[in-house]
Structure 1
């Protein structure tokens, strides 16, 4: 994994811009950008399979961690968010299958498009999750105490 300081200026700027001020989610997002950094400057002819598999493993763990956060709000909460996670993993699995057959260009396409999807996903779905988690924590802190409304 690449150290946070090893991110390209473009990835570092995007990672910074997508901070949600909720450390558990922000840490997952930082790790996502560190995985993307593994593809920067990757020459043609070099196998994309191993870094794509590492990215897929990260995404599965990342999405599972977020899905676990969502469970505290009930089984129906965040259904669209969870479905989006599932669909992204399906796409990555298909890309991995095709890269394993020698279609490395589709892996490159995924790595170029994933940050575009990710930015929208963070600004919408993850932003709501982070806000909900912070609100939940604030409510827990106020139990039995006199919290101002």
Structure 2
């Protein structure tokens, strides 16, 4: 099957900012649920993703604004675009277009690793530096997948 149906947490997503890492783990779990949910449950899972993204993005946006994070405007703009896409697709799924909901879940599972690696890692480093005066320390398990 060509469709991506698994998106599991991977320690490579850890950024060294505990609150951010925990919300990212929840996001990954929700995307996995959207990729595998029965059709009848997909509207509810997308509603969960929308609620999660609202809180997730609002928290990161607040950190960027309150901590004077450089480049925050671009990061916030990306959050807004992703959230708008989620809302748009959520409405289409409610109207019966299940396939577009699966496409969104797949697209988000492809988007998230790069977003976390580039944009969120810079934010995590900024926050840790401002709070503790140093760089984040990240311990990752070396798990080999078959």
Unaligned 5+ residue runs, structure 1? 1-7, 141-149
Whole-Å separation in 1 of the counterparts to 2:132 and 2:101: 42
* 2:34 matched residue in structure 1: 39
What TM-score comes out, normalization by structure 1 length? 0.79
Whole-Å separation in 1 of the counterparts to 2:72 and 2:63: 10
Equivalent runs, 1:61-100 vs 2, <5 Å: 61-74=55-68, 77-100=71-94
* Higher RCO structure, 1 or 2 (CA under 8 Å, sep 6+): 2
Whole-Å separation in 2 of the counterparts to 1:40 and 1:85: 21
Tell me, yes or no, if the aligned pair for 1:47 and 1:104 is still in contact at 8 Å.
no
Unaligned 5+ residue runs, structure 2? 135-146
Which structure has the larger Rg over C-alpha atoms?
1
CA RMSD of aligned residues (A): 2.2
What TM-score comes out, normalization by structure 2 length? 0.80
Q: How many residues get paired?
A: 130
| Alpha carbons of structure 1 residues 96 and 9: separation in structure 2 relative to 1, 3 Å | closer
- Structure 1 residue 10: deviation in Å? 4.8
Whole-Å separation in 2 of the counterparts to 1:72 and 1:40: 35
SS in 2 for 1:12: coil
Q: 1:134 aligns with which of 128, 132, 137?
A: 128
Whole-Å separation in 1 of the counterparts to 2:49 and 2:122: 24
- Structure 1 residue 76: deviation in Å? 6.8
